[in-house]
Amino acid sequence: MCKIFERKVSIDLVFQKVCAIKTRMIRYIFIWLCCCIVFHRNTLAQNVPVQPQVKNFLGTKAASILSEAETVQAFLLDPFPNASATEQFNGFKVLKKSTLSAKNSTIIKTILGTDAHYGFDQLMKNCTFTPSLGLRFYKNGQTLDVLICLDCDVWRFIGYQLNKTEDFDPAHQQVREFILMAFPK
């Protein structure tokens, strides 16, 4: 009778250990899934509506890419064209590049998509376009490029038969602060 009792006790102990291991594994899997969800949510850029004048200026296709881009890359540029540079962005040498966080993507989409940040007028600025920042917006394999010149407060949109330039005097400070966030020293 003792041997049967001992076997039953040892089987019960094994069963308890297996249950404890399963419980720990489930707990670890749950924690891992929570981390994945939080990380995934923080890496996805939000859709930001493009206001009517900006949409009219860019066109529906480019405005859609700007608004709904899943990924945004930023490029610090040498402001003078350099055809011999190994890495280029629209003809300008890339000094540094970065894929933006969801937060920074949302910030730049909001800056670029707001009517009040544009100087929609017929006046042309008399300055040399020397961009120090480039942005590339990706949506379903489609791209929209933006070159930003802080010296002139002018941005240029390139893509989908689009090559348009407009000034952003009202948003100068916001653009400057964005560049410092995207590329901290």
95-148 tens-digit pLDDT: 999 999 999 999 999 999 999 999 887 777 888 999 999 999 999 999 999 999
pLDDT top residue among 31 and 164: 164
* Beta pairing partners, 137: 72, 144
Q: Is the pLDDT of residue 22 over 70?
A: no
Task: Calculate the CA 138 to chain-centre distance.
Answer: 9
Which residues, including other chains, have CB under 8 Å from residue 63's CB and lie 6 or more apart?
50, 54, 55, 113
Instruction: Give me the pLDDT at residue 38, please.
Output: 42
User: The whole model's pTM is what?
Assistant: 0.74
Q: Provide the pLDDT confidence category of residue 39 given band limits of 50, 70 and 90.
A: very low
Pairing status of strand 92-99 against strand 133-139: unpaired
Instruction: Give me the pLDDT at residue 17, please.
Output: 63
Out of 40-44, 90-94, 168-172, least confident range? 40-44
Instruction: Give me the pLDDT at residue 13, please.
Output: 59
Instruction: Give me the pLDDT at residue 173, please.
Output: 95
Instruction: Give me the pLDDT at residue 34, please.
Output: 44
The end-to-end CA distance of the chain, in Å, is 77
Per domain, the residue ranges of the chain are 1-43, 52-182
Which CATH code is given to the segment(s) 52-182? 3.30.1490
Instruction: Give me the pLDDT at residue 80, please.
Output: 87
